[in-house]
Amino acid sequence: MTIRLRLALQFGAILGVTLLLFALVIYVVTQESRREVFTQSLFRRTQVVGHAYADGLQHTDAGQQASYRLYLRQLYRTLPSEEGRVYDANNHLVFREGQALAKPVPAAWLAEVRRTGSAVLEPETNYHETVGLLYHDAHLGPLVVVASSVDEDSRQQLRQLRRLLAGGLLVALLAGGVGSWAFAGRALWPLRRMVREVDGITATDLSQRLTHATGAADEIGRLAQRFNSLLDRLEAAFAGQRTFVRDASHELRTPLTALTGELEVALLQAERPTAEYRRVLQRTLDSARQLNSLTNGLLQIARASDDPSQVPMGPVRLDELLLQAYELLLQRYPTCRVDLDLGEADEAGAGTLRGNEALLLSAVLNVLDNACKFSAGTGQPVTATLARSPTRLALVVADEGPGMSPADLQQVFVPFFRAAAARAVPGHGIGLPLTARIMALHGGTVRVASEPGQGTRVRLEWPASR
């Protein structure tokens, strides 16, 4: 079932129930009102019958009594199936006139009429009703006058009212159904347009965007905006992935090409000097190490991009991490001089953050490695300083290398990008991008400040662990 049909049915059901309840209220109120009016008219008839009966008995002339009886017969014909009866003080039927057959009246009910002054013997059933009234006469004493009739006017008018309400209900339901169908179609038209536009978006073309709904502030407009934002992120992710794969392929091709070339050259001659074989093996080993380093860097970038909830975290002492990175750095660059300033981080409980020790070690080591590589030959030391505040921890690494231009500085976090001054230095351009992803994974930041000929300053900052 489509949303349009479901909305139309729900709206029609709500409208139908509402109109049905409204029609029932109108019918019940009208029926009760007419019933009350008919009951009051019967009580007024009892007063007329009682007065006519008592006044007629005061005339002894037979002609006058016949005239009263004729008057009463004409009076009873004014209501359908009307009947009137009069009971004396001993509950004897002393007068009866009317068109309907007489039904016995219970003595208990007559006593109730005498006690209360008026009572209803038969509440309206099938539009027929019987009432009684206590009538006082100075000569005849208390009389009970009973009147009954059929409310034929109410029967006909209520029948017409039922037909009118039923017809109006059907017309209203039909009009409401057609209107709800049209309204639902109009309300869902932006969604149908969005579906058509989404069908035209493919993985090879993520540049298309959804047309915003007319009312950009409503739910459909916000949905279109959120979907467009999602497409922006997907397009950026796909573009980054394509760039990453292209650059990674290019970087991997270099050591593989060198490795293949050296092996092919070694196989050109059957016999070669031992020194030549050692040279070929050494170059092959260097290419394999370069390939291994590049592969490890790519794996670390992929790991640093994982969901933070899937990465094991724990308390890490930043000063101990820096010392560990310093020891590993000396193995790579024995001649590099690194001055450490641990500040207050060597105190008990100070300089602790929450994170993954292996990833944080890789981030710190990448920054120190870059500083040592670019400081080689300058004779100037690399400085690593720890700073601490109540809420933040920071590591500042500064070198006196060639520095970077403002244009290179803007792309320093792009994977495989290498500044013009760094292309003569061995590397793959994944150190700082990897560090940036690791810092983002830990809720930290990395900032790079550099000027040509003035060195580079890298600041790593994390929230302190409570």
CB-neighbour burial class of residue 384 (10 A; exposed 0-12, middle 13-18, buried 19+): buried
Q: Global pTM?
A: 0.47
Res 70: pLDDT: 62
Please report whether residue 372 resides in a domain.
Answer: yes
Q: Give the pairing of strands 141-150 and 128-137.
A: antiparallel
Beta-strand ranges (E) seen in 7-54 are none
Please report whether residue 416 resides in a domain.
Answer: yes
Please report whether residue 65 resides in a domain.
Answer: yes
CB-neighbour burial class of residue 138 (10 A; exposed 0-12, middle 13-18, buried 19+): exposed
Number of domains in the chain: 2
* Final residue of a structural domain among 134, 158, 182: 158
* Final residue of a structural domain among 158, 173, 197: 158
Please report whether residue 339 resides in a domain.
Answer: yes
The count of other CB atoms within 10 Å of the CB of residue 41 is 15
Calpha distance 378→364 (Å, rounded)? 22
Res 345: pLDDT: 45
Please report whether residue 404 resides in a domain.
Answer: yes
CB distance 111 to 123 below 8 Å = no
Sequence-separated contacts (24+) of 173-176 with Cβ below 8 Å: 173/12, 173/15, 173/16, 173/19, 176/11, 176/12, 176/15, 176/16
- CA-based end-to-end distance of the chain: 55
What is the b/e burial string over 47-85, where b = at least 16 CB atoms within 10 angstroms of the residue's CB?
Answer: eebbebbbebeeeeeeeeeeebeeebeebbeebeebbbb
Range of the domain at 69: 3-158
CB distance 355 to 442 below 8 Å = yes
Please report whether residue 269 resides in a domain.
Answer: no
Instruction: Mention every residue, 6+ apart, whose C-beta is less than 8 A from residue 102.
Output: 83, 85, 96
Calpha distance 460→234 (Å, rounded)? 29
Please report whether residue 397 resides in a domain.
Answer: yes
Res 346: pLDDT: 46
* Final residue of a structural domain among 106, 127, 158: 158
Bridge-partner residues for 341, per DSSP? 385
The tokens for 144 are 């009970």
Q: Which mean pLDDT values do the consecutive 10-residue runs of the chain (466 residues) have?
A: 79 87 91 86 81 69 62 60 82 76 77 87 75 84 86 85 89 86 80 78 73 63 80 75 63 69 73 75 75 65 59 82 86 83 60 81 84 77 86 87 78 66 59 81 86 86 77
Res 243: pLDDT: 63
CATH of the domain at 334: 3.30.565.10
Please report whether residue 14 resides in a domain.
Answer: yes
Backbone φ and ψ of 354, nearest 5°: -105, 125
What is the b/e burial string over 100-119, where b = at least 16 CB atoms within 10 angstroms of the residue's CB?
Answer: eeeeebeeebbebbbeeeeb
Res 315: pLDDT: 86
Instruction: Mention every residue, 6+ apart, whose C-beta is less than 8 A from residue 298.
Output: 248, 430
DSSP code string of 178-223: HHHHHHHHHHHHHHHHHHHHHHT-BTTB----PPPPSSTTSHHHHH
Res 247: pLDDT: 57
* Locus of tokens 């602790």: 352
